[in-house]
Structure 1
Amino acid sequence: MTFQITVQPSSHHYECEQDDTVLAAAIRHGIGLPYGCKNGACGSCKGKVVEGTIRHMPHQPRALSDQEKLQGYALFCCAVPQSDLVIEAREVGGSTEYPIRKMPTRVTGIRRAAPDVVVLTLQLPANEALAYRAGQYLEFLLRDGKRRAYSISNAPSYSGPLELHIRHLPGGVFTDHVFSTMKERDILRFEGPLGTFFLREDSDKPIVMLASGTGFAPVKALVEHMIHLGSERPTVLYWGGRRPQDLYMHELCEQWARELPWFSYVPVISDALPEDAWTGRTGYVHAAVMQDIPDLSQHQVYACGAPVMVDSARRDYVGQCGLPADEFYADAFTTEADAAQP
C-alpha cells in the first residue's frame, strides 16, 4: 500500500510505501526535509503531523518527548505512515541539489591526528566525482547491513581525496577496524551525500561555529568553503575538547585566525590535567559562547558534535540569548549508544 504525503507550507507532495518512513521517502523523492542522524537520536527531523496517523518507531525520548507526541509532533526518520498524511515541516532549500549515490572508494591514507582520532583519506574511482555541499556526510555500507556516518571534512572545491575524521569508540565494529586492521588500498562502499547541515549562503549574518571533538570535521569544510567563496562574513569558531589533544587541528585554526580578517578562534578545554599546562579558556564550550556573545539575536549558529552539547546550545541560545530558532543549524554526532532505544 502507498500513502500520499503533503508537506506544508510548501504544498509539496510525494508517495510513501506503508513500511517506509516519512523521511526516507522524502529523500528518495527529492523533498528537502531537514535531518541529521536518521536514527531517532538527534531531533533534527522533528515536525508536526497535521492530518493522518503514523506509527512511531523506537527513538530517544530526549529527541521527542511524550508531551510532544501528544501535541502532534513526530521524528520523521522514525515515523511510518498508517494513512495519507499532511505534515508541517520547514524544508531546506538546496539539500537535494546533488544526487545521492552509492560508490566504491579506496583508502589512501590513515593518519593518526590524536590518540583517538584518525584522518582517513579516500580516493574515488577514476573519472568519478562526488558532488556535495560543505558540511554534508556520507554513510559507509558495512557487510552486516549496518551503516556508519561520517562528515566530509574538506570543501567540495578541493580536488584531492575525500577526508574524514574518525574518533575511536572502543568496541565499535567499524572504528575498531579503522584503528587496528584497516590498511591503505582497502576498498569501502558508501552512500552520499547526506544531511542538511551546510552554509546558508543567502544570509550575511555573523556566524558562530560551535564544535566538540570530531564535530570539527564539517566545520572545517564550512570554513574552507567560505574561503573558496571569498566570504567576509564575521565568523568565530568555538572548538571544545576535554583535553588539548582533542583539538587535533588546533594549529590550522590558529593559522586561519592569523590569515583571515573575518575569522576568529576560541579553543575551550573542559578537563585539562596539570601536565597539559593549559592556559586558555576552560569549561563547557557552548557556555563560552554565551559569556562572549550574550545577545545572539542577529547571528546564525552552526553546531556540530556530541548530542548533549548540541541540545544544550539549542536550548540556551534560543531560550536565553535570543537566537531565532530557525537560525540554529546542527549536526549531532550520534553513536550506536546514542541510537534509538525502545
Structure 2
Amino acid sequence: MTLGPDETGALALGPQTEWTATVVGAHRLREDTTVVRLIGEFVPFAAGQSVEVRTPQHPSMVRRMYSALPPSLDGKLEFHVRTVPGGWCSGSIVSDTRVGDEWRISAPAGWLAVDPDATDVVMIADAVGLAPMRSLLLDIGRRPEPPRTHLFVGARYPRDLYAADMLYLLTGEMPWLTVVPVVQDEYDPDWPDQWYESCRVDLGFHPEETFAGTIADIPSRFGPLTHHHVVVCGRIAAVQATVEHLVATGTPVEAIRHEGF
C-alpha cells in the first residue's frame, strides 16, 4: 500500500521496510550510463540519502543507489547508473533495464544533507555522484530563501557530463545556483559513443565555463571554504582526495559531509 500522512501531518510508516517501484523509463545516455525513472510506493528517505535496490536481472544482489529526486508522495524515483569496471551487475542494469521491471527498494541511509541555516553551499559531485546533489538541489529549492549554491560536476571527458543539458536548464530556474563543469581532459576520445551521438543536443555549457582538472583540485583553486557548507559525493578515491584537499586548504572538517561508492 502507499503510505500517506496521518492526522498530525507526520508520515505513518508502520512496520514496512521494503517498497516496490516499477520502471517507467530507462534512458541510455552513454555507453556506460543509464538514467532509470520509476513510480511506485512512497519510500521514506531523505533528500541526499541512498537506498538498497534489488532488480529483476539480479534479484539476489543488492546495490546501494542515490535517488536524483527528493521523496514525494506520488512515489517517483530516479537513479543514475554507471557501469563499474568489472561490475557485471551494474553493466546489466545499464544495458538491460526495461520499462515494466519491478524494483524492490529498502534501507534508506546516509547523511548527505544541507543544514537548514546554511547560507553558502558548495556541492562537489564526481560522476553519478551528481544524483544525490540534484535531489538536494530540488529539496532546498523549496525553501523560502535557498542558500547560494555552487555545484562542481566532475568528469573525465566533456561528453561524460551526461546531464549537462539538465544542469544548464536548472541554472535558469534557480538564480541562486551556479554550476561549474570540471573535466580532466579538454577533448573527447577518438572512439565513438553511439548513445552520446544519438541524444546529443546543442544545449549546455561553453568550454570557457569549464574548469580543467579533477574535483580534488577544486579546494586549492577556490578554498579555503571557511564559511560554506560542503557536500561531496562520488567514487571513493575521488571523494577521499577531495576531502583531504579541503581540510588541507583550511575548510573545517565539521563543515564537510561526504560519501563515496
TM-score by length of 2: 0.79
8 Å Cα contact 1:100-1:193 kept in structure 2: no
The answer on 1:298 being equivalent to 2:227 is yes
Deviations 1:263-301 (A, max 9, x none): 11111110232679955321112313431x222111111
> Which residue matches 1:25?
none
Tell me how far 1:215 sits from its aligned partner. Answer: 0.5
Deviations 1:318-338 (A, max 9, x none): 122x211111101212xxxxx
8 Å Cα contact 1:155-1:224 kept in structure 2: yes
8 Å Cα contact 1:157-1:225 kept in structure 2: no
Tell me how far 1:159 sits from its aligned partner. Answer: 3.8
1:303-314 residue pairs with structure 2 within 5 A?
303-314=232-243
> Which residue matches 2:146?
232
Which residue, 97, 117, 134 being the options, matches 2:47? 134
CA distance in 2, matches of 1:272, 1:103: 43
The one-letter amino acid of 1:323's match is T
The answer on 1:324 being equivalent to 2:239 is no
CA distance in 1, matches of 2:166, 2:14: 29
Structure 1 unmatched ranges of 5 or more:
1-96, 334-342
8 Å Cα contact 1:244-1:269 kept in structure 2: yes
Which residue, 5, 8, 33 being the options, matches 1:117? 33
> Which residue matches 2:125?
211
> Which residue matches 1:250?
164
> Which residue matches 2:217?
287
Distance change in 2, residues 1:263/1:179 (3 Å) = closer
The 10-residue stretch of structure 1 (167-176 or 258-267) with the greater mean CA deviation from structure 2: 167-176
The answer on 1:269 being equivalent to 2:183 is yes
The one-letter amino acid of 2:29's match is A
TM-score by length of 1: 0.62
> Which residue matches 2:4?
none
Deviations 1:235-267 (A, max 9, x none): 100101001121111122222223322211111
> Sequence identity of aligned pairs in percent?
27
Deviations 1:212-253 (A, max 9, x none): 110000000010111122333111001010011211111222
> Which residue matches 1:192?
107
The answer on 1:107 being equivalent to 2:20 is no
CA distance in 2, matches of 1:160, 1:140: 15
User: Larger Cα Rg: Structure 1 or Structure 2?
Assistant: 1
CA distance in 2, matches of 1:144, 1:168: 18
Number of aligned residue pairs: give it.
231
CA distance in 2, matches of 1:150, 1:288: 25
The answer on 1:162 being equivalent to 2:77 is yes
8 Å Cα contact 2:149-2:178 kept in structure 1: yes
Structure 2 unmatched ranges of 5 or more:
1-12, 191-205
The one-letter amino acid of 1:313's match is T
8 Å Cα contact 2:219-2:246 kept in structure 1: no
| RMSD (Å), alpha carbons | 2.5
Distance change in 2, residues 1:104/1:297 (3 Å) = same
Partner-residue secondary structure (3-state), 2:142? helix
